[in-house]
Amino acid sequence: MSHSTDLLTKPSTIALVGNPNTGKSTIFNALTGLRQKIANYPGITVERKMGTTIINGILHKVIDLPGAYSLNHKKADERITYETLIGSYDHEETPDLLLMVVDASNLDRNLFLASQVMDLQIPMMMILTMNDVASDRGIDVNSTRLSEQLGIPVISLNAREKDTSGRIKKALTQFGVAVPKTFLWNPTEPLREAIDSIDQQWLSPFTDLPERARPIEALRLLAEGSLDEVYYTYQEESLGRKLILELQDQLEERGENPMAAEVIQRYHFIGEATHGIVEQESREERTWTDRLDAVFTHRVAGPILFLLVLLVMFQSIFSWATPFMDMIDLLFVELGMYVGDLLPQGLLNSLIVDGVIAGLGGVVIFLPQIIFLFLFIYFLEGTGYMARAAFVMDGFMTKVGLHGRSVVPLMSGFACAIPGIMATRTIENWRDRLITIMILPFMACSARLPVYAVMIAAFIPDHRILGIFTLQGVVFFGLYLFGIVMAIGSAAVMKRIFPTGKPTPFLMELPPYKWPNWSSTIIQSFERGKIFVTEAGKIIVAISIVLWFLASFPKYEATSDQVSEVQETRTELSESTIQLNQSYAGRFGQWIEPAIEPLGFDWKIGIGLLTSFAAREVMVGTLNTIYSIEETEDQMGLIERLRTEIDPETGLPKYNLATALSLMIFFAIAMQCMSTLAIVKRETNTWKWPLTMFAYMTVLAYVMAWITYELSSKYLLI
């Protein structure tokens, strides 16, 4: 074989290709370390992982292509891998050389993709991973002989290896890369003729595909039978379509199934190529994976253990993240005060302190939860447990129209929707993922707690029920349950509405259990934090400034008239109360009052609905400002004030049980959180979905709150 090391003497683009669960990400993290950047590919939700690495003093680009089982693309991420490799994808560089990552413990299926990639004639080196898992199962792959068989350099990596990156770089300089021979798998005569016909009669004259990509594209078209999933430019469409169908018929006449021929022949080749290279000791003893699976996927023990894992996970996130969140909160308050004192009083001061610093604080406060949740997720994913959890839960989740992998993101939503929405990335199927994102904010997040707490304390009587429960506790629990019911109901509706697209079969691999790679777990978790701050953070700070503007303008100038008027009416309104009431936010509250009156809300709550868009718990602070109440830990001042508020027209209490229930139902459903919308924009890569989410949740919240208000005013004794 003609090995070349020349490519590495000038800056080049190295792409990592392989099946999912092969340790590809671990290799990418080892090669690039913190010199990596994750962003979305334009227009779709697949992430582009790019980084750099230095080999012999030369800086090379490294792309971690999305994991794929085949080049015959069925999913968006596989399509990107395919299009990048054939050089027809505009948003990714065509790689100069490939690192083909292959799981040694699962050689057949991994070599299937490898044999397809080898037909593309890109210089490559093969990296065998998971050799320890393989040898546990009595499998020993002879990498030297595999290299001879395939005609490309092959190296073996071990999970216990300290310096993965050094090992790969050394191998690259020593052995270089080689261009594999095409059609090593030796397709049958009829298939080969069909490939040549498509190539010569259509692909070559009427498309702009590079020559090396044509045979593999011809195979894909033969299996596909149509031009529906073609993304390069072409002419003579009808000719192409006709040709494909004709050739399919010809193949069938000659005894080949056009859809299956390629797959069968490649697997046949793999069987022959690995014969004598893979030593398989027959071992009767059960592997660790078998033993652990007997427990973790057990019909009864499996779901129970999964709930326990979730419980430990959320308890830890809660107790670990809270001190950091308190610290961040304090830090930004202190910073605001410090900067506020430093700058001269005035507009700029207010903009920086109440707009920018408060907005930034509102972004950074999410980081502890995001990073801790992802540490758990990447850890569990790395051990192989996440696939088991999905396996155990899938039966239950498909009943409500979701996926087994929806459980962890949905449960994370109880802490905060933002890390939960980011965690939906583990759901492969786009439709399942989208539905999970769209219903996730119904999970009662911790920001709703302060609002629920104030309303319940003020208006729900503290009766005992059945001796052990209190009515307040039952209402509290009811609100959580209500969120879950809304989520399930919406999922069922969306399952019917959303375009099914091309259904992808549910074929989920259960990778062998292994000890996760720590540095990779940590790097990836911090990357998630970085993505949130840089991508969602921009939107959050911008909206914060808009909200600041609405509450600060027009400026209240106390004229002596107004001051005396205020003093005369003996209302104890502070200056900040008057400022808020006559600001654009205050006017907004008054403007929407007629619209929210049927829900039992007045303009003061209307202001709160606007300001709480920054974060739900801001509602409580806003009400405190409106009523000029000193904010306290137990909110007793506010609770007392809400109870005694009198409607000037009727002389009756302004707020009652019906208002409280209506407001809580509204808060349980409404999309009152700009940070959630910002992260939905990032994760779906379009404004379409966050806007849809906002619209449907607001309408739903309005209708449900209205029904609640009507029913409870009529039928509940107040």
Least Å distance, CB 97 to other proteins, is 25
Which of 34, 54, 245, 264 is in the footprint of other proteins by CB under 8 A?
264
Q: Count CB atoms within 10 A of the CB of residue 649.
A: 7
| Residue 14 and residue 62 in contact, taking contact as beta carbons nearer than 8 Å | yes
Closer CB to other proteins, 226 or 571, in the complex:
226
Which of 82, 112, 459, 666 is in the footprint of other proteins by CB under 8 A?
112
What part of residues 471-490 is at the interface with other proteins (CB under 8 A)?
none
Q: Using CB under 8 A, which of the segments 66-74, 334-342, 355-363, 558-566 binds other proteins?
A: 66-74
Least Å distance, CB 491 to other proteins, is 17
Residue 561: which H helix or E strand, with range? helix 560-568
Which of 6, 163, 279, 509 is in the footprint of other proteins by CB under 8 A?
509
Q: Which of 22, 10, 8, 17 is nearest to 384 (CA)?
A: 22
State how far Cα 662 lies from the chain centre: 32
Which of 395, 501, 594, 598 is in the footprint of other proteins by CB under 8 A?
395
Least Å distance, CB 488 to other proteins, is 16
Instruction: Find all residues with CB under 8 Å of 385, minimum gap 6, and list them.
Output: 296, 309, 513
What part of residues 267-326 is at the interface with other proteins (CB under 8 A)?
267, 289, 293, 297, 299-300, 302-303
Helices (H), 186-236: 189-198, 204-206, 214-224
Which of 3, 37, 61, 74 is in the footprint of other proteins by CB under 8 A?
74
Closer CB to other proteins, 94 or 504, in the complex:
504
Q: How far apart are CA 16 and CA 663, in angstroms?
A: 52
Query: Does the protein bind other proteins through residue 508 (CB under 8 A)?
Result: yes
Q: Using CB under 8 A, which of the segments 208-216, 257-265, 349-357, 670-678 binds other proteins?
A: 257-265
Beta bridge partners of 234: 207
Q: Using CB under 8 A, which of the segments 65-73, 145-153, 442-450, 482-490 binds other proteins?
A: 65-73
Q: Which two tokens stand for residue 533?
A: 């701050």
Q: Which of 366, 483, 375 is nearest to 419 (CA)?
A: 366
Q: Using CB under 8 A, which of the segments 390-398, 571-579, 615-623, 629-637 binds other proteins?
A: 390-398
Least Å distance, CB 46 to other proteins, is 18
Which of 61, 109, 495, 643 is in the footprint of other proteins by CB under 8 A?
109
The DSSP call for residue 207 is: B
Query: Does the protein bind other proteins through residue 69 (CB under 8 A)?
Result: yes
Which of 255, 505, 648, 651 is in the footprint of other proteins by CB under 8 A?
505
Least Å distance, CB 226 to other proteins, is 12
Which of 89, 366, 378, 391 is in the footprint of other proteins by CB under 8 A?
391
Cα dihedral angle (134, 140, 141, 142), rounded to 10 degrees? 150
Instruction: Label each residue of 128-150 as H, E or C.
Output: EECHHHHHHCCEEECHHHHHHHH
Q: How far apart are CA 413 and CA 397, in angstroms?
A: 16
Query: Does the protein bind other proteins through residue 425 (CB under 8 A)?
Result: no
Identity of residue 222: L
Closer CB to other proteins, 396 or 469, in the complex:
396
Least Å distance, CB 227 to other proteins, is 17
| Residue 585 and residue 607 in contact, taking contact as beta carbons nearer than 8 Å | yes
Which of 468, 507, 652, 717 is in the footprint of other proteins by CB under 8 A?
507
Closer CB to other proteins, 260 or 563, in the complex:
260
Place of tokens 């406060």: 365
Query: Does the protein bind other proteins through residue 81 (CB under 8 A)?
Result: no
| Residue 455 and residue 449 in contact, taking contact as beta carbons nearer than 8 Å | no
String of contacts with other proteins for each residue 216-245, x by CB under 8 A: -------x----------------------
Least Å distance, CB 672 to other proteins, is 36
Query: Does the protein bind other proteins through residue 145 (CB under 8 A)?
Result: no
Q: Which two tokens stand for residue 118?
A: 């080898």
Query: Does the protein bind other proteins through residue 495 (CB under 8 A)?
Result: no
State how far Cα 59 lies from the chain centre: 31
| Residue 677 and residue 546 in contact, taking contact as beta carbons nearer than 8 Å | no
Judged by CB under 8 A, how many residues of this single chain contact other proteins?
44
Cα dihedral angle (213, 214, 220, 224), rounded to 10 degrees? 130
Closer CB to other proteins, 242 or 283, in the complex:
283
Q: Using CB under 8 A, which of the segments 64-72, 247-255, 643-651, 658-666 binds other proteins?
A: 64-72
Q: How far apart are CA 697 and CA 672, in angstroms?
A: 9
Least Å distance, CB 72 to other proteins, is 6
Q: How far apart are CA 92 and CA 223, in angstroms?
A: 26
Closer CB to other proteins, 404 or 608, in the complex:
404
| Residue 269 and residue 279 in contact, taking contact as beta carbons nearer than 8 Å | no
| Residue 108 and residue 59 in contact, taking contact as beta carbons nearer than 8 Å | no
Place of tokens 């990400």: 25
Closer CB to other proteins, 21 or 659, in the complex:
21
Query: Does the protein bind other proteins through residue 256 (CB under 8 A)?
Result: no
| Residue 407 and residue 387 in contact, taking contact as beta carbons nearer than 8 Å | no
Question: Which residues make up the interface to other proteins (CB under 8 A)?
Answer: 69-70, 72, 74, 105-109, 112, 137, 139, 223, 259-260, 263-264, 267, 289, 293, 297, 299-300, 302-303, 387, 391-392, 394-396, 398-399, 404, 503-512
